[in-house]
Chains A and B, each alone.
Chain A
Amino acid sequence: MPERIIKYTDAIREATDQVMAKDESVYVIGLGIPQGAAGTTNGLKKKYPERVLDTPTSEASITGLAVGSAVAGLHPIVHHDRVEFSLLAADQIFTQAAKWNYMFGGGGPVPVIFRIVVGRQWGNGPQHSQALYALFGSVPGLRVVIPSSPAMAKGLLISAARDKNPVVIMESRWLYGIKEEVPAEMYEVPLDKARIVQEGSDLTVVGYGDALYTARQALALLGEAAPRVELIDLVSINPIDHETIHASIKKTGRLLTVDTTNGAFSVGSEIIAKAAQHRVGFVDAPRSIAAPDVPCPTPPSLSEHWYPTKVTIANAMLEMLGKPPVDVKLSFEELHLPPSTTL
C-alpha cells in the first residue's frame, strides 16, 4: 500500500468527488465553487457540470435554496468562504434548517452540509478571522464538526453526506496546507464522538480544529520532556462528547482546554462547566487557554499576542504539573504563516 500523503484541501476535494460519484442527489453550491474554492473543489465543475454551481453574491438566498432543496430530497454542500458571510444566512441555518424537523413534529430530513471556513489567516483582522464556534455549537438541531486534520476532513465530510441532518463543517483555514496520510477509499468518521489522539495518565488536553493541531505541536516541541498528556480531539461541538472527556479526567485528574478564539462563552468554558457539575474528580483546578476577549487585530505585531501558540500551550501543560516553563522564541514564519507540516 503506497503512502498517500495529501493536503487538507485535497482531502476535502477527494471526499466531495467520491460522494458526488456515489450519490446523484449531492451537489455543491457557493460563490466561486467552480473556480476551486482554495483547492477544495478543483476540477469538479468539469466532471459534474450540472452539479457544481456558481452563485450570485447572495448568501441568504443561496443558503435558503440549499435548505429548501434538502427538504425536497437533495443533498447540497453549501460553501461559505468565511464564517462572517454565513451570518448573512443566519436565519436559514439557525432558524430554518435547524428547526425544520422539530417544528413539524418530525417533518422530515434536512440533509444539507454547510462548509464554513473559519479563523486564522494573516492580515485578515477583526471582520475576516472570527470562528464563532460557540454560536454554532449552541443551536439545537445542527450537527457541528471541526476537522483537525486531512484524514478527519475527508471522513467527516463523507459521514456528513450520509447523514440526514444539517451538518455544519467548520474548516480552519489555518490548516488548509497541512498534510497527512489519507486512505484512498471512502470511510466515515462519527459525527458526534470525540477522538483520543494520544493516551496519557497525568493531564487531559481537549482541543479541536487548529487548537488541536497547535496542542500537538506543543507536545512535539516538548518531545521527551512532555508530560503524559491524554490528548482529545473534540471533533464535534454540537453535541459535545462529554462522556469521553469525563472518562479521561477521571483518569488524569487534570483538564486543559484550548480554544483559538475568544474565551468568553467558549467551547472550553462549556467543557469545564459540565465537568465541574459532574464532579468528575479534579485534583487541580481546570484551566482554559483561549484568545483574549477583544477582536482579532490585523497587524502581526498585535495578532501574534492574540493567538495561543504552541509555546503558550506547552507552558500551561508544564505549569499544571508543577514543572518549569520552556523558553522558546518562535520565528515570524512560525507565528504568522500557515503551516505545511506533515502530521
Chain B
Amino acid sequence: MLGQPKPGETIELQDALHMFGGDGKTIKATQGGKFSPHEEIPRYLKLHKSGALPVDDLITHRVRLEDINEALDLLRAGKAARVLIDFSPMKPTLLESYKNMLLLRVAEEELVQLYLDKKIFSMVHFYVGQEAVGVGVCSQLELKDKVLSTHRSHGHYLAKGGNLKRMVCETIGRSNGAARGKGGSMHMIDKSVNFIGSTPLLGSAIPLAAGVAFAEKYNNKGGVVVGFMGDGASEEGVVYETYNLASLYELPLLLVIENNSWSVNSNVVNRRGKKYDIATIVKGFGLPYLRADGNDFKDVSAKAATLLKGIRAGGGPAVLECMTYRHMAHSTPLMDDKNNLRREDTLDRRLERDSLKRMRKEVLESGVSEEWLDELEEKTRVEVREAIEFANASPYPQKEEMFTDVLYA
C-alpha cells in the first residue's frame, strides 16, 4: 500500500489480525525526515532517469502559478496526489516585450552590416518593421506552445526565445548554427523552446503547423501551435485548404497573417480582386478572425490573447491578421525607395509607422527614462556584437557534412 490519506481519513483492514498475525509482518506508517539533499536528490534523479522511480505518475494535476489556490483546494478535497505548479506561463511585462523587440531590431541592423560586408552567403529576408507581430503573438505563448515560420524567420525565432548566437551562426553558415550551418538564414530551428522550424516555400509551413497541432491534440499535450505567414503566402491554395482541414479536425492552431502588403515586389492591390475580403473568407470557413494593427504591440498581443483563449478552450483554429510594414526589400537589406521598387516608400513614411518607435513611446509613458532605454539599446548592441564575434570565430561545417543528414540516422 502506498499513498497519503487526507486528514481524518481512516483505513479499514479486513482480517488484519489474520493477515499480520505471524511471520513478523507489520504495518508501519512513514513520514519524511532525515534527508541529506546533496546525496538524496542526485540518487532520486538517477533512479528516476533509470525508470525505477516513476514519480511522474504521481502527478495528477498541473496548474499555473496564478491558479495555485485551485491546487490547494484539490489537495484539501483529497482529489490530487501531486500537483505540479507551472511557473513558465507568466506573461512578459511591457518592458520585457520591448527588450525582445529591440533585440530583434538590433540583431537585424547588425546583420545588415554583415551582409553589406559580404559576410553572409545566404538569402536574408529582413524582419525590420514587423517586430510587434512576432513579439506580440509570442508574448501570449507558453513554452510548451509551438511555432512554425517562414523565410522571414529571425524575428519569430528570437521572439519565441531562440538562441541569438545560434541564429547568427546559422546565418553566416557556421557549424554552431541552429541548423549546424547547413540551412542558412531561412532555416531556423530551436527545439528547446519549441520553435519547430521555418521553411521558405510560401504557405508550406501552414499545413505543417496544422500537422504539429494535430499531434498536439492526438497526444493530448494541451499546447497551441502558431503558424506565421505573409500576405503573399496567405494567397496560396494550400493555405485555404488548411483553413478547412484545421477546422474539420478542430486543431489547436493559430494562423497569423503578417500583412506587409508586398509579395516580393507585387503590391496587394495588384494581386487581389477588388472585393477580396480575407475576413469574409476566413469566417466562411467557420474560423474566428481578428485584424490587428501590426505596428502596435499592444493591439497584436491583446487580439492574440483573445484568439488563443478560445483555442485553448477547445474552440478550434483561428486566424489573426496583422497589418504591418516591411522596411526593407523582400530580400537583402536594400531600402526599396533606393532601387525604385516601392517609390512611394520613403524613410519618413517608414519611421512614421515604425513599431519599435511606437513601443518605445509606450515604455517611456510607463515611467522608464530615456537614458535607461538608451543604455538598454547600447547593451543590446554589445550582446549582438558579441554573438557576431562568436559566430565569426566559429568553424564552418566540414566537407563530409555534405553527405550527412540526408536520411535520419
Interface residues as binary, A58-95 with B (CB distance below 8 Å gives 1, 0 otherwise)? 10111111111111111000000000000000011001
Please tell me if the beta carbons of B207 and A143 are within 8 angstroms of each other in the complex.
no
Q: A36 near B: Cβ within 8 Å?
A: no
Q: A8 near B: Cβ within 8 Å?
A: no
Interface residues as binary, B177-199 with A (CB distance below 8 Å gives 1, 0 otherwise)? 11111110001010100001101
Please tell me if the beta carbons of B405 and A72 are within 8 angstroms of each other in the complex.
no
Chain A residue contacts of B52, Cβ below 8 A:
none
Q: B396 near A: Cβ within 8 Å?
A: no
Chain A residue contacts of B406, Cβ below 8 A:
101-102, 140-141
Q: B77 near A: Cβ within 8 Å?
A: no
Q: B264 near A: Cβ within 8 Å?
A: no
Please tell me if the beta carbons of B408 and A104 are within 8 angstroms of each other in the complex.
no
Chain A residue contacts of B108, Cβ below 8 A:
none
Chain B residue contacts of A104, Cβ below 8 A:
178-179, 182-183, 187, 189, 197
Compute how far the CA of A329 lies from the CA of B397 in the bound complex, rounded to whole angstroms: 62
Task: Give which listed residue, A53, A64, A105, A141, contacts B206 with CB less than 8 A.
Answer: A64
Task: Give which listed residue, A65, A70, A164, contacts B210 with CB less than 8 A.
Answer: A65
Interface size class, chain A: 35 or more
Compute how far the CA of A164 lies from the CA of B409 in the bound complex, rounded to whole angstroms: 8
Compute how far the CA of A102 lies from the CA of B213 in the bound complex, rounded to whole angstroms: 23
Interface size class, chain B: 35 or more
Please tell me if the beta carbons of B211 and A68 are within 8 angstroms of each other in the complex.
yes
Chain B residue contacts of A96, Cβ below 8 A:
199, 201, 204, 208
Q: B69 near A: Cβ within 8 Å?
A: no
Interface residues as binary, A131-161 with B (CB distance below 8 Å gives 1, 0 otherwise)? 0000000001101000000000000000000
User: If the complex has contacts A61-B242, A64-B211, are A102 and B182 also in contact, measured as CB distance less than 8 A?
Assistant: yes
The interface-forming segment of B215-223, B323-331, B361-369 is: B215-223
Q: B115 near A: Cβ within 8 Å?
A: no
Please tell me if the beta carbons of B211 and A27 are within 8 angstroms of each other in the complex.
no
Q: In the complex, which residue of chain B has the Cβ closest to the Cβ of A99?
A: B199
Q: In the complex, which residue of chain B has the Cβ closest to the Cβ of A96?
A: B204
Chain A residue contacts of B148, Cβ below 8 A:
68
Please tell me if the beta carbons of B407 and A107 are within 8 angstroms of each other in the complex.
no
CB distance from B399 to the nearest CB of A (A): 15
Chain A residue contacts of B196, Cβ below 8 A:
71-72
Q: B386 near A: Cβ within 8 Å?
A: no
Chain B residue contacts of A183, Cβ below 8 A:
none
Q: B241 near A: Cβ within 8 Å?
A: yes
Compute how far the CA of A141 lies from the CA of B180 in the bound complex, rounded to whole angstroms: 18
Compute how far the CA of A41 lies from the CA of B191 in the bound complex, rounded to whole angstroms: 35
Please tell me if the beta carbons of B208 and A107 are within 8 angstroms of each other in the complex.
no
Please tell me if the beta carbons of B408 and A101 are within 8 angstroms of each other in the complex.
yes
CB distance from B190 to the nearest CB of A (A): 10
Compute how far the CA of A58 lies from the CA of B209 in the bound complex, rounded to whole angstroms: 16
Please tell me if the beta carbons of B208 and A68 are within 8 angstroms of each other in the complex.
yes
Please tell me if the beta carbons of B215 and A69 are within 8 angstroms of each other in the complex.
yes
Please tell me if the beta carbons of A108 and B408 are within 8 angstroms of each other in the complex.
yes
Task: Give which listed residue, B181, B187, B204, contacts A92 with CB less than 8 A.
Answer: B204
CB distance from A71 to the nearest CB of B (A): 6
Compute how far the CA of A55 lies from the CA of B197 in the bound complex, rounded to whole angstroms: 25
Interface positions of B from 160 to 181, Cβ below 8 Å from A:
177-181
Please tell me if the beta carbons of B201 and A56 are within 8 angstroms of each other in the complex.
no
Task: Give which listed residue, A63, A71, A103, A108, contacts B212 with CB less than 8 A.
Answer: A71
Chain A residue contacts of B218, Cβ below 8 A:
27, 69, 74
Please tell me if the beta carbons of B212 and A64 are within 8 angstroms of each other in the complex.
no
Chain A residue contacts of B237, Cβ below 8 A:
60
User: If the complex has contacts A74-B218, A103-B183, A165-B408, are A62 and B208 also in contact, measured as CB distance less than 8 A?
Assistant: no
Please tell me if the beta carbons of A68 and B408 are within 8 angstroms of each other in the complex.
no
Q: B404 near A: Cβ within 8 Å?
A: yes
Interface residues as binary, A291-324 with B (CB distance below 8 Å gives 1, 0 otherwise)? 0000000000000000000000000000000000
Interface positions of B from 264 to 320, Cβ below 8 Å from A:
none
Pairs across A and B, CB under 8 Å, 12 listed: A65-B210, A68-B208, A69-B211, A72-B214, A92-B208, A100-B197, A102-B406, A105-B181, A107-B405, A109-B408, A164-B407, A164-B408
Given A60-B207, A70-B211, A104-B179, list of 11 further CB < 8 A pairs? Answer: A56-B241, A64-B238, A68-B212, A68-B213, A72-B212, A73-B219, A102-B182, A107-B405, A109-B408, A140-B406, A164-B408
Q: Which residues of B contact A (CB under 8 A)?
A: 146, 148, 177-183, 187, 189, 191, 196-197, 199, 201, 204, 206-216, 218-219, 237-238, 241-242, 244-245, 248-249, 397, 401, 404-408
In order of increasing CB-CB distance, the 6 nearest A-B pairs are A68-B211, A64-B207, A105-B180, A72-B215, A61-B241, A68-B208
